[in-house]
Amino acid sequence: MVPGRRRHAPVTRPAMQLACALALALLPGACRATDGPRDDATHAGAGASAAADDGADDGAPRDARPDRGSANAAPAAAAASSLVTPAAPMPPADLLTDPVDDGSLVAGLHDADAAVRLVAAHGLAQRPASDAGAALVAQLGAESDEAVLAELLFALGQRHDASAAGAMLPSLRHASSAVRAAAAAAIGRLGDDGRTGALVTLLADGDPGVRGAAALALFGLDGRRYTHERTATEAVLAARDDALAQLALRDADAGVRWRATFALAGVRGRRGLATVLELCLRDGEPLCRTFALAGLAALQKESLAGSRAAVALLADADPRVVIAALRALARDGDVALLARQVREPESALVRLTAVQALAERLAQPDAAADMLRAGSDALADAARRDASAMVRGEAAAVLVAVADEARAQFFLHALARSTDWRDRQRAGKALAAGPQRDDDTLAALLADGNATVAAAALAVVGGRPELRRDQLLHALESTDQATLQAAAESLQPELEAGTAPPELVTAMAAALDRARGFELKEARQSLRKALGLPPDGEGPAPAPPGRLLDRLLAQDRAAREDPAPRVILATTRGDITLQLDRLAAPVHVASFLQLADLRCYDGLDIHRVVPDFVVQGLDPRGDGMGTGGRRLPDEFTSRPYLEGAVGMPNAGEPHTGGCQLFMTHVPTPHLDGRYTLFGQVIAGQDVMQRLEIGDRVLSVRRAP
């Protein structure tokens, strides 16, 4: 949501009642609550392009860290809601038993059987906290099996230890292209841009897989989203840019071109990059055009590019390209042009992005009164009439921030009295963002039966002394994750300054003592942070008897009996077939199949959609913060996140996977090795690309 551009006076009850009556009559989806708000396990989500992120948001799938402020359920989901069997309760399970090596994995690196060494190396790659760096480096020089060698390189890269780079460099010249590609990827994870020259040399490799891996590794060494120290000289960076440009513009392999374009789009901004990226807009591969536009949008923020080249791409046949073009136009695009994109495109995800782009455009300092009127008119039309409830809710929330006084209040009241809790959550966020003040609406939201709505409104009381004490005391008695987190975040500034009322400090300490279990882990961490305590270190579950290596070998043998089970997600927009990867992520696959067989996923929703990034869902809690009472170990793999990859969200800490999933709209190399990848969309990719917030997963069944 963009910051407001007006000042509002408090709203009196008669004014509020009048605005509410108008809203109820005109805004689709809004109606007066009778027996309380409907809470039907739906979620919210929002986001922006991740390909060339500037670091403010890591663009990553997540449980409790998303900007969860979107709209109400899609019409298809609403129509089907009475036909869906409610999801069965999820049985809790702590599946984290061995977060570190017991010594058997390091010993297994020296086994005579390459299959054993491979399992040992893979186990160490999934346990970067294990003290095994020296053993991995030593085995790197002695290993003869190519598959094991590639896994050793992956394990070293996962440790992010720049001192290992020297041992990896010989692998860049290995006879096997798979090993060379693995070495490039691993070096790219070390955060040592002193190795840039070695990777630039690899851009001329005869194998396209190696060239692509080297290009992405260069992004890893100098991506604007990363914060490690940079030491590469200007001459080295110029040679890198020239070599990447050659690949992006001339390589015969489309996969190499989009990877080189992704790298150019994501590295720290430099003069001359905009010219290359504009040339990439002519590429026949849609991913090249998409990533080039993302790069131009990032360079524009750094005053290194303009947006004019993006205008022509609004007519592109691929919606992903259009979405990227809209983001490139968000800062200085023509308001009338953006307004047409709010109204005309067939894709709801394009219209959603147009709403967000128009919101950003209207928040710019040069937005004159006539621009605000024209933009607000387009947004109001979308809020009332768009076929997608996701778009309607987004447009209404933007209007609360950017429209004139009367229109802003109109849509605030419409959102606050919607039967869809996500709209009411948006109203709470709008009040928290200010500057308007509406006591009656705030009181209704604080008393909302949906805890996520009440938590959003709780942020308002920070500046309201007359409400603060009682509301926070009440919130700290909750056992709800969102409510406790909101209370902790509201109190943290006073706690840090030593000015928090003693009774609230006592209540927070009591809340921390009660906040136990996986479902409240993030609330617990927020409470500890606010109280000035270190993060807690929840230990693993008891490990089964025997050596870890033996258990992993048995797990590997079992996985090979059925390595790629398939499931069908029947959604309100059509079927999506997933092929799961039991060899790479056996614990995740077993957990997912168990919950599917128990019908725990039936009737759950898609709660987060970030166009040109991910679709995320299957959280029984309702707001993206749930784990289903499960804790899964990280099972990282060297497999890349390509279009349609299926991954597990986490809470930004190791071993915090649960029950959800996300699916990628486009390749997302910045997620590689950071989120467990446990499957791939193999049919219904078009369905996945059309999913909206509020769409429902009717069932998850094993494919015949």
336-371 confidence digits (pLDDT tens): 999 999 999 999 999 999 999 999 999 999 999 999
Which residue in 681, 694, 688 sits closest to 574, CA to CA? 688
| CA–CA distance, 515 with 504 (Å, rounded to integer) | 16
Model confidence band, residue 88 (pLDDT cutoffs 50, 70, 90):
confident
> How much is the pLDDT for 199?
98
Decide if pLDDT at 6 tops 80. Answer: no
Q: What's the one-letter identity of residue 198?
A: A
Instruction: Give every CB contact of residue 160 below 8 A, 6+ residues apart in sequence.
Output: 128, 189, 190, 191
Kindly give the residue spans of alpha helices, DSSP state H, lying in 447-480.
Answer: 451-458, 465-476
Write down the mean pLDDT value for the chain: 88
Residue 652 region by backbone torsions, left for phi larger than 0, else alpha for psi between -120 and 50, else beta: left
Distance spanning both ends of the chain, measured CA to CA = 45
> How much is the pLDDT for 86?
55
| CA–CA distance, 291 with 123 (Å, rounded to integer) | 34
Q: Which residue has better confidence, 38 or 62?
A: 62
Kindly give the residue spans of alpha helices, DSSP state H, lying in 302-450.
Answer: 319-328, 335-343, 348-362, 369-385, 389-402, 405-416, 421-433, 439-446
Neighbour count for residue 282 (Cβ, 10 Å): 10
Biggest CA–CA distance in the chain, Å, is 83
Burial 87-121 (b: 16+ CB within 10 A, else e): beebeebbbbebbebeebbbebbeeeeeebbbbbb
Model confidence band, residue 61 (pLDDT cutoffs 50, 70, 90):
low
| CA–CA distance, 89 with 702 (Å, rounded to integer) | 19
222-275 confidence digits (pLDDT tens): 999 999 999 999 999 999 999 999 999 999 999 999 999 999 999 999 999 999
Whether residue 308 contacts residue 278, with contact meaning beta carbons closer than 8 Å, is answered with: no
Instruction: Give every CB contact of residue 554 below 8 A, 6+ residues apart in sequence.
Output: none
Q: Supply the pTM of this predicted model.
A: 0.89
Backbone angles phi, psi at 661, to 5 degrees: -150, 160
What domains appear along the chain, each with residue ranges and CATH number?
A: 75-97+556-702 (2.40.100.10), 109-253 (1.25.10.10), 269-329 (no CATH)
| CA–CA distance, 430 with 275 (Å, rounded to integer) | 40
Residue 599 region by backbone torsions, left for phi larger than 0, else alpha for psi between -120 and 50, else beta: left
Distance of CA 99 to the CA centre of its chain: 24
Task: Out of 266-275, 440-449, 455-464, pick the least confident.
Answer: 455-464
539-594 confidence digits (pLDDT tens): 899 999 999 999 999 999 999 999 999 999 999 999 999 999 999 999 999 999 99
> What does the block give as tokens for 396?
């209404």
> How much is the pLDDT for 643?
98
Which residue in 287, 333, 281 sits closest to 307, CA to CA? 333
Whether residue 170 contacts residue 184, with contact meaning beta carbons closer than 8 Å, is answered with: no
> How much is the pLDDT for 394?
96
| Beta-bridge mates of residue 650 | 62
> How much is the pLDDT for 652?
87
Whether residue 628 contacts residue 89, with contact meaning beta carbons closer than 8 Å, is answered with: no
16-42 confidence digits (pLDDT tens): 333 333 333 334 443 322 232 222 222
Asked, as a colleague might, if the bond just before 435 is cis with ω within 30 of 0, I would say: yes
> How much is the pLDDT for 53?
53
94-143 confidence digits (pLDDT tens): 999 999 999 999 999 999 999 999 999 999 999 998 999 999 999 999 99
Q: What angle do CA 143, 547, 99 make, to 5 degrees?
A: 85
